[in-house]
Structure formats: C-alpha cells, structure tokens
Structure 1
Amino acid sequence: MNLNIIAGVGRHRVRLLGLISILAVYSCVPSKTLKEENKSLPDAYHGAVSVDTMNTASLKWRDFFSDPYLVSLIDTALVNNQELNVMLQRIEVAQNEIRARKGEYLPFVGFQAGAEVEKVGEYTRNGAVEKNLDIMEDKEFPEPLTDYSLGLVASWELDVWKKLRNSKKAAVFEYLSSVEGKNFMETNLISEIADSYYELLALDNQLALIEQNLKIQENALKMVRIQKQAARANELAVRRFEAEVAKNQSHKFEVRQQIVETENKLNFLVGRTPRPIARVSNNFFESVVDTIYAGIPAQLLQNRPDIRRAEYELAASKLDVKVARANFYPSFGIKAGVGLQAFNPKYLTETPASLLYSAVGDIVGPLINRNAIKAEYNTANARQVAAVYEYEKAILNGYIEVANQLSNIENLKNSYGLKVKQVDALTESIDLSTRLFQSARIEYIEVLFTQREALESKMELVETKRDQLMARVHMYRALGGGWN
C-alpha cells in the first residue's frame, strides 16, 4: 500500500479524534434548571367584605392630596431631593450600560495610521534581501528603512450562542429595575413628606391644647389661692397646682422643639435650608379621611414599584445564567483590515502596488481548567435563585402591608369615635369638678386629676387623628400609588 495514502488516512483519523474530543468536552457543559417564581395571591384580602377592582392606587398623587401646602412641598421635593436626584443619575448609568452592551455584538471598526523607521543588520536574512533587491529607480532599500501605513481595521465577534445579545437584554432589565427603584423612592418620599406634614399639624394642635389647658390651670391656681386665704384650702393644694402648671409649661417647650425638628426634617426632604413651613393647622380635626379602595391583591403585581423592580431583576438574573452558560462554548471572531503601506510616502497612492488587506477568522474556546467559568456559572445560578426569593418576598410583603393597613384604618376609625366621647365627657367634667370644689363638695386633688385626664385625652385624640391621616397615606403607598 502507498505510504502517502496511509499517512493521509492517519491524519484524517487524528483530526476526527480531535473533533470528537472537543465535542465530548462541550457535551459535558453543566446545565441547571432555573428556579421558577411563585406569584400566586389570594383572590381577596383577608377580612375584606367585598371584592372590587376599584383601586385608589390609580389616583395620581395630586388628586389624592387636597392640601395645597402639602402639594407644594411634594412638588419641590420631586425636583430638589438629593436622594431622588442620585437615583436619576443611576438610571443614566443603566442607560449607558445598555449602549455599551449593544455595541459589543456589533462590528468594531477603527482607523489606523502608522510611521516606522528600522535599521537591520546586513548579515541577517532581512539585511541580505534588502542589499540584493532592486526597487524601481532605487538600487536598494533605503537605510534606515521607513514604513508608512494608513488603513481601516475591523473586528467582530459572532454572537452564535446569543451571549452578547442576552447580556444586552439583561442590561435593559437592569435599567427598567432602576426606573422602578426610582418610582419606589418617589412613593416613599411622598409618604414621608405627608407623614411629617401631618405630624407638624398634630404638634401645632397639641401646642394649642397645652396653652388652653394652661389658662384653665392658672385660673384653678388663682381659685385655690383664694380658697387658702379663706381657710378652705391648704398650702399643699396650692403647691400641687403650681407644680402642674410648671409641668405643662415645660411640656410646651418640648412640643416647640419637636415642631422645629419636624420642620427641619421637611426642609431636608424638600432639599432646602431650614425655614418655616407654610401650613394651616386650625382645621386639623375637620380633615376628612376619605374611603380607600384596595382593589384585589393581583393588582399589586402591576401597581407596586418594588414588586416590579424585583420582577425585572429576576428577569435579568435569568439572562445572566444564559450568558454564564454560553462561556463554556467557543467564541467565533473575524478580524479584517484594508489600507495602504509603503516605505516612502510618495508610493502610498500607487495602487494596487501599495494596497494591503487581510482577513482572519478564529475560534477560541475553553478546553482545560474551566474552574473559573464553572464558578461564574454557579454564581449566576445562585443569584437567580436569590432573585426568585426576593421577588416572592416583595409580593408577600406588599400583601401583608395592605392587609395591615386595612385593619389599621378600621381600628383607628372605631378608636377615634370612642376618644371623641371620652374628650367630651372629660371636658364637661372640668367645669363640674370646679363648681364642686368651690362648694367644698370634693377635694382639690379631684380637680387636678380631672384637668390632667382631660388634657391627656385631648392629646391622644390629636394623635389618633394624625394616625388616621397617616394610615390613609400608608395605605395609598402600600397599594402602589404615588409614582404614576
């Protein structure tokens, strides 16, 4: 048999074995099943009387809040708040990341120009060739030898496994996640401003109650002093009433400090230096607590920005797993160039003599020691599983927040009605106890306790009204309102 034929067959066998070996390696690429998320929710909220799709979250925040001073604060905060502006810059970064990843799967084309000078030894291969070769009108290469080039170069990685496209899609989902993060920050910012504003109104009313009560107590103190002069009361009664007046005067300064701090908190949220907050507090108790429509739990998936953000992050993590798996496969690349080259600039324009071009195709893939790629793939899978849990946690948290606020609103409504009755009864008892004391039918201590209990009940009524207004805001936020 011809030895050349045997050798040819042997070479083909070696190539075939090499191809089989490579295919065997890539057939062992690991593959893990992506964890699927559970986003099922009950048909209605726990304890809900009826199921209705009417949802307060669909209201724009300008329609939800009626106080013009509060609306003005929110308007200013959405422009000047530093944290919100930082988030807007992060969105810009996410947009640029999309552009960068999109460019990775498009051809890269660059302009190249160069100039070189070289002197080689005569007793070398290049030197001998240069000395013995005639070039046009010159008898030999110039010494030292110069080289000028001008051209275009291009490179392109063929996205066979969709690694680059999936990477770009993941960047898109990350961008959408950052947008939802901004929306979630807006809902929290609006809620925090409204909470602080209602807290400020409540403090104003508590300060007014303290001042009203001080007038009552000062009148009672004058009465006790007159009673002492008439030998119908003793020094102990006078001292007890004086202590009560001093206590409430001290409390007044504490409330004033809380007002200053709350105003400055609002100024910080609005993004400006401390200044008085414009407001009207005398109609605090007349503030209407409108009915909140919770809709159905499934609407949370579309309305709450934190759930939508977690959903986009989950989608991005699934694509990251595909990108990490594609790293096990070989990458295909093409490099090409075209231009002009000559040792003398005057020859650059002489084509086709000075024309040069090249085209190279290559395939590169991991074969041995793929531990880093395996680790990256395992990490991507772990992040995907974590993203599933984060998404499920966001859904559960949203449902529980709405359920809590539904119960809170109902309980505060019942509590407020009872506290109104308590305040009315104790307010009437102040005049009654004063008259009974003047007629020596009760001790001074009963007058003192009655005034104290009346003030405490009025302060609690203010706090309950504040909690009602805050609960309405918290419900609006829990439903996913405030960002649209």
Structure 2
Amino acid sequence: MNKSKVVYLIPFLIALAGACRVSKDVSTPQPELPAAFRNAAGPDTISIARLPWKSFYKDQILQQLIDSTLSRNYDMQIAMKTLEQSQLVLRQSKWNNVPQVGLNVTASTTNPSNNSLNGLTLGQFLGTDHLEDYSANLSLSWEADIWGKIRNTNRIALANYLQTQEAKKTLQTALIASVSQGYFNLLMLDAQLGVAKKIWL
C-alpha cells in the first residue's frame, strides 16, 4: 500500500472512531429559586391546591353536582382511560431488562389424495393415509442496554404517564371550577330575584 493512501486513510479512521463514541448524559442546570415567595414572613404550609375539593366546597348540592359531572363527563372518562393506558405502559417498560422466554408448539396433519403418488406410497410404506407433524421450540432472548435504548424508553414512558396525570388533574380542576361558578351564579341570580320580589311586593 502506498504511503499516500495511508496518509489519507488515517484521518478517515480517526473520524470513524470519533463518530462511534457514545455521547455522555448532560445534566440539566438547576435554576436558583428564591427561598420565599416575594416577601413572605415564613414558609406557607397551607395551600388551597393541596386541599381536596370536597373539603373546599362544603355545600352538599354542589358536591353532588361536581361528583355527577366528574363521573359522567366524556372528556374526563377519556382522560381516565388514557391515564390507565399510560400507567400500564409504564409498568410494562419496567420489564424491558428482563430476559424473554418464548415457547412455540405446532401440530399439522397432511392428507394426500389416494390417487396421487404421495398417497399411494404413503399407504404402501407407512400403512396410513395421512402424515402428522409435531414440533416444539423454546427460545430465550435478552437485550443488553448498551446504547441506552431501554433506559430512554423507560424515561419516555414515565414522562408520558406524568403528562397524562397532570392533564387529568387540569381537566378535573377546570370542570370543578366551571360547575361551581355556574352554581354560585345561579345562587346569585336566585338572591337577586328574591330581593326584586321583596321590593315590588
């Protein structure tokens, strides 16, 4: 081999070796957050977001309306099914590193015609008019996570689960707010009607 070819081949081999290297995980920089919200005197331990909605709304009629809305709303039912689906995918992704065992059993029978060459020879040599074939095989496979494919699949499944969970919470909050707003508007209109009747009567 010529020296000139070797000189051209060396940079190509160096570039090829550099292209096969796996990139390292880069950590996300964490922003510096303030210790307290604005100029608060101390940490706030009580938040409305942490309260269950039934303890926030004490009116029994409103609670029944919200329960009925959450159980019968089609968007909420779809969100619940999507959440269940993503939860099952997340559970399934945790088994990606486990070896997989497969068992395959097959059985077949062949009935050649008695007038064919196969049918005549089958009857003469084997003494039967059909052939039976049985087979079984066992397989074992395991995927090594060299390139991070399984780890990334698990991360995507977790991110999808958290996304559907937060989407369900957002939809539930919007439905509760809408029902309660309509209910309190109706109470306000009833009170205004009562005041108007008292004035005119």
TM over 0.5: yes
CA distance, structure 2, for counterparts of residue 59 and residue 99 of structure 1: 29
1:25 aligns with 2:19: yes
Q: TM-score, normalised by structure 2?
A: 0.64
Q: CA offsets, 1:336-364, max 9 Å, x none?
A: xxxxxxxxxxxxxxxxxxxxxxxxxxxxx
CA distance, structure 2, for counterparts of residue 170 and residue 43 of structure 1: 33
Q: CA offsets, 1:256-301, max 9 Å, x none?
A: xxxxxxxxxxxxxxxxxxxxxxxxxxxxxxxxxxxxxxxxxxxxxx
| Moved segments of 4+, more than 6 Å | none
1:96 aligns with 2:82: no
Q: TM-score, normalised by structure 1?
A: 0.30
- Aligned-partner residue type, residue 33 of structure 2: S
Q: 2:36: which partner in 1?
A: 43
Among 176, 180, 183, which residue is 1:197 paired with?
183
In the alignment, is the contact (CA less than 8 A) between 2:36 and 2:43 conserved in 1?
no
- Cα 1:164–1:116 change in 2 (3 A) is farther
Q: 1:62: which partner in 2?
A: 54
- Cα 1:150–1:40 change in 2 (3 A) is same
1:109 aligns with 2:95: no
- Aligned-partner residue type, residue 53 of structure 1: D
Provide structure 1 residue ranges, at least 5 long, that are not aligned to the other structure.
1-18, 118-137, 139-145, 217-484
Structure 1 residue 160 displacement after superposition: 2.6
Q: Secondary structure at the match of 2:58?
A: coil
Larger Rg: 1
CA distance, structure 2, for counterparts of residue 165 and residue 154 of structure 1: 21
- Cα 1:105–1:20 change in 2 (3 A) is farther
CA distance, structure 2, for counterparts of residue 168 and residue 56 of structure 1: 33
Structure 1 residue 89 displacement after superposition: 0.4
CA distance, structure 2, for counterparts of residue 39 and residue 80 of structure 1: 43
In the alignment, is the contact (CA less than 8 A) between 2:93 and 2:153 conserved in 1?
yes
Structure 1 residue 207 displacement after superposition: 2.6
- Cα 1:157–1:21 change in 2 (3 A) is farther
In the alignment, is the contact (CA less than 8 A) between 1:102 and 1:165 conserved in 2?
no
In the alignment, is the contact (CA less than 8 A) between 1:105 and 1:165 conserved in 2?
no
1:166 aligns with 2:166: no
CA distance, structure 2, for counterparts of residue 71 and residue 105 of structure 1: 46
- Aligned-partner residue type, residue 36 of structure 1: P
Q: Secondary structure at the match of 1:77?
A: helix
CA distance, structure 1, for counterparts of residue 194 and residue 52 of structure 2: 34
- Cα 1:85–1:45 change in 2 (3 A) is farther
In the alignment, is the contact (CA less than 8 A) between 1:105 and 1:157 conserved in 2?
yes
Aligned residues: 169
Structure 1 residue 112 displacement after superposition: 2.5
CA distance, structure 2, for counterparts of residue 148 and residue 85 of structure 1: 48
Provide structure 2 residue ranges, at least 5 long, that are not aligned to the other structure.
1-12, 111-124, 126-131
Identity of aligned residues (%): 29
Q: CA offsets, 1:169-193, max 9 Å, x none?
A: 4312321332233223222222222
CA distance, structure 1, for counterparts of residue 101 and residue 43 of structure 2: 59
In the alignment, is the contact (CA less than 8 A) between 1:95 and 1:175 conserved in 2?
yes
Q: Secondary structure at the match of 1:158?
A: coil
Matches within 5 A, 1:171-250: 171-213=157-199, 215=200
Q: Secondary structure at the match of 1:196?
A: helix
In the alignment, is the contact (CA less than 8 A) between 2:96 and 2:150 conserved in 1?
yes
CA distance, structure 2, for counterparts of residue 71 and residue 148 of structure 1: 64
Q: CA RMSD in A?
A: 3.7
